[in-house]
């Protein structure tokens, strides 16, 4: 399946927070962009998803491009294994410029019973160093290599 979406907004009296103090801007702020998505199957056991967003006009300092992708393998009815990636372009979010980054992940789930599923994920597989924000010298680093696990029980 392929999808494409054009979006356009006009934000009245947008609040600008930088430089301080915050002020309401008197005019409209346009935002617009394009999103593409592609998903489907490669045979009986493989599925894929790709998505890309381009911001032609946006709020201050948002990334112009973002993308995600994943491939899922279902070797059995109860087991799903996958690999994915997320890309975020250069941006600043109102502070100092931030570099682009690419995060990789591995994930899986196993249906233990009809209403109980085990989940596991390794996020930022390459232990990529990146920043979420650098707002007036307040640096917020992105998470490093992370391991997550959980159980979903439905009643």
The C-alpha atoms of residue 37 and residue 3 are separated, in whole angstroms, by 5
pLDDT at residue number 89: 94
**Would you say residue 91 lies in a domain?**
yes
14 located within any domain: no
pLDDT in tens, 107-136: 999 999 999 999 999 999 999 999 988 877
Cα separation, 104 vs 127, whole angstroms = 9
* pTM tops 0.85: no
**Residue 20, in any domain of the structure:** no
CA distance 63 to 98: 10
Within a domain: residue 134? Answer: yes
- Which structure tokens are listed for 38? 């592609």
Q: How far apart are CA 10 and CA 132, in angstroms?
A: 26
Spatial distance between the Cα atoms of 129 and 55, rounded to a whole number of angstroms: 24
Domain annotation covers residue 23: no
Q: How many domains does the chain have?
A: 1
In a domain, 59, yes or no: yes
Residues 100 and 63: beta-carbon distance below 8 Å: yes
Is the model more confident about 44 or about 22?
44
The backbone torsions φ and ψ at residue 19, rounded to the nearest 5 degrees and listed phi first, read -70, 155
In a domain, 12, yes or no: no
Pick from 45, 46, 52, 139: nearest CA to 87: 52
Q: Which of 128, 58, 68 is nearest to 93 (CA)?
A: 58
pLDDT value, residue 29: 82
Cα–Cα distances in Å, from 151 out to 74, 75, 125? 19, 20, 22
Residue numbers of the domain that contains 125: 37-153
* 3-14 mean pLDDT: 89
Residue 129 forms part of a structural domain: yes
Query: Nearest CA to 52 among 62, 64, 40?
Result: 64
pLDDT at 23 exceeding the cut of 70: yes
Predicted pLDDT of residue 18: 64
């Amino acid at each position: 399946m392929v999808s494409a979406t054009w979006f356009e907004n006009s934000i009245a009296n947008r609040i600008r927070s930088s430089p301080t103090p915050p002020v309401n801007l008197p005019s409209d702020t346009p935002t617009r962009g394009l999103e593409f998505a592609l998903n489907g199957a490669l045979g009986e056991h493989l599925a894929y998803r790709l998505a890309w967003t381009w911001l032609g006009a946006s709020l201050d300092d948002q990334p112009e491009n973002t993308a995600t992708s994943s491939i899922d393998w279902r070797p059995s009815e109860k087991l799903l294994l996958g690999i994915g990636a997320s890309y975020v372009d250069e941006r600043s979010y109102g502070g100092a410029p931030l570099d682009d980054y690419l995060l990789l992940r591995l994930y899986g789930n196993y249906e233990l019973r009809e209403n109980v599923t085990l989940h596991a994920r390794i996020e930022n597989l390459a232990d990529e160093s990146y920043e979420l924000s650098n707002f007036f010298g307040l640096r917020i680093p992105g998470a490093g290599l992370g391991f997550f696990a959980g159980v979903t029980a439905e009643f």
